[in-house]
């Protein structure tokens, strides 16, 4: 299959909501995830399902999170797919092995910066597209095996640029994403804003044993 399938998904996500995440990126060679379903884990209650709208990422004191403390052994890979609002990005995290492994590692803390679906759909180019590929190879840049590899690489960079290998992540603390881009955040008018790019954090969606999922109003710049 061709990248068109993914393009269609990103343009009209609703069409694909019923299909499995594995079909999100059908043209990639690798199996979408190496993780086997863990029935025990899936049956565990997910305590953050009713998490309140938390305006700000946590302060160091965690005062603002009375109802959603990290607890138990629920981890990011359990909860990343829970919200429809970020299910495009959640699909990416499962398809990119480096990220899937990270979110499944209970001993490594991570802050996932998940752009809301509409932000990904609104990107001027798809996350797996790179203008340099088109400049070099023309319209067929993503066809064939080489095209799949290029798209896979680009999507990996996009996804890794939204994964901060630290949690708690304190205000002002400079961190390098898995893609190597440097980020920090500051509180501004009651909202957390990620820089560079001034991308607002809509809310903290999940807070689990190995980190947090923050929903972003926009996508971060991932240009290499």
**DSSP string computed for 74-138:** --HHHHTTS-GGGHHHHHHHHHSHHHHHHHT-TTS-EEEEEE-HHHHHTSSS-TT--HHHHHHHG
Query: In terms of CB distance, is 167 or 206 closer to ligand NAG?
Result: 167
Sheet with 182-188, side-by-side order of all strands:
163-164, 110-115, 211-216, 199-208, 191-195, 182-188, 175-176
**DSSP string computed for 152-198:** HHHHHHHHHTTEES-SS--TT--EE-TTS-EEEEEEETTEEEEETTT
Query: In terms of CB distance, is 109 or 159 closer to ligand NAG?
Result: 109
**Contact 194/183 with Cβ under 8 angstroms?**
yes
Smallest gap from Cβ 96 to ligand NAG, in A, equals 22
Contacting ligand NAG within 140-179 (CB under 6 A): 167-168
Query: In terms of CB distance, is 80 or 141 closer to ligand NAG?
Result: 80
Q: In 3-state terms, what secondary structure has residue 58?
A: coil
Smallest gap from Cβ 186 to ligand NAG, in A, equals 20
Query: In terms of CB distance, is 10 or 114 closer to ligand NAG?
Result: 114
Contacting residue, 33, 109, 110, 148, with ligand NAG by CB under 6 A: 109
Size of the site for ligand NAG (CB under 6 A): 4
Query: In terms of CB distance, is 70 or 218 closer to ligand NAG?
Result: 70
| Per-residue binder mask for ligand NAG (CB under 6 A), 51-80, x = binder | -------------------x----------
**Residue sitting closest to ligand NAG (CB):** 109
**Which residue ranges make up the site for ligand NAG (CB under 6 A)?**
70, 109, 167-168
């Amino acid at each position: 299959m061709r990248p068109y399938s993914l393009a269609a998904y990103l343009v009209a996500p609703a069409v694909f909501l019923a299909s499995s995440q594995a079909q999100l990126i059908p043209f990639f060679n690798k199996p979408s995830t190496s993780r086997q379903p863990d029935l025990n884990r899936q049956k565990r209650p997910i305590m953050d399902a009713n998490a309140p709208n938390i305006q700000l990422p946590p302060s160091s004191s965690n005062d603002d999170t009375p109802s959603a403390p990290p607890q138990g052994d629920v981890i990011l890979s359990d909860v990343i797919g829970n919200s429809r609002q970020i299910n495009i990005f959640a699909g990416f995290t499962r398809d990119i092995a480096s990220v899937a492994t990270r979110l499944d590692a209970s001993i490594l803390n991570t802050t996932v910066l998940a752009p809301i679906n509409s932000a990904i759909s609104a990107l001027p180019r798809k996350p797996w597209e790179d203008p340099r590929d088109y400049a070099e190879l023309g319209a067929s840049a993503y066809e064939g095996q080489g095209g799949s590899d290029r798209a896979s690489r680009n999507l990996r960079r996009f996804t890794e640029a939204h994964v901060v290998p630290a949690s708690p992540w304190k205000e002002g603390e400079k961190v390098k994403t898995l893609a190597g881009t440097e980020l920090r955040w500051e509180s501004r008018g009651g909202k957390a804003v990620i820089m560079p790019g001034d991308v607002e954090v809509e809310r903290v969606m999940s807070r689990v044993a190995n980190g947090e999922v923050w929903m972003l109003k926009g996508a971060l710049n991932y240009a290499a």
